[in-house]
Amino acid sequence: MSNRVTSLFNIRYPIIQAGMIWCSGWRLASAVSNAGGLGIIGAGSMTPEILEEHIRKCKAATRNSFGVNVPLLYQGVDKQIDVILHEDVKIVITAAGNPSQWVPFLKQHGIIVAHVVANVRGALKCADAGADAIIAEGFEAGVIPGNRRPPH
């Protein structure tokens, strides 16, 4: 199966695992990648040291593409980005914040960047920032800023 998603992320199937903060460690990410999707390590709950460990274990468990999800609203994003650069991660999915600061920086380092949005305004910010892909999600996906349950 070949399409824009599989080509961009160098995966067999157009399936991108969510970066679910406490649930998405190296085991899940490598299993998804080994099955042909894009496994994602959820860095939101990880210190830089734990993130480094998960990236290294994921590299050891799969030869396929995987990425790291970085929620931009947390403290210490810059330290997580340092780990991602040092460990030569090729795909980053940013979320929960304005992509304008980090998307261009990551792309300058040869990283494919997708950003998670909840509305058109967020998608336009991604386009302006130069994101390679936009991941649109609804209110049921969690606590991403802009995700609001519609009125009944």
Successive 10-residue mean pLDDT values, the chain, 152 residues: 91 90 88 96 91 96 96 88 96 89 93 91 87 82 49 46
Angle between helices 48-61 and 77-86 (to 10 degrees): 30
pLDDT score for 20 = 82
Write down the pLDDT at residue 101: 86
Return the residue matching tokens 């609001």.
Answer: 148
What integer pLDDT is reported at residue 21 of this predicted model?
77
The pLDDT, as a whole number, for residue 139 is 62
Q: Indicate left, alpha or beta for 119 from its phi (over 0: left) and psi (-120 to 50: alpha).
A: beta
* Single-letter amino acid, residue 55: I
Domain ranges of the chain: 4-113
pTM: 0.86
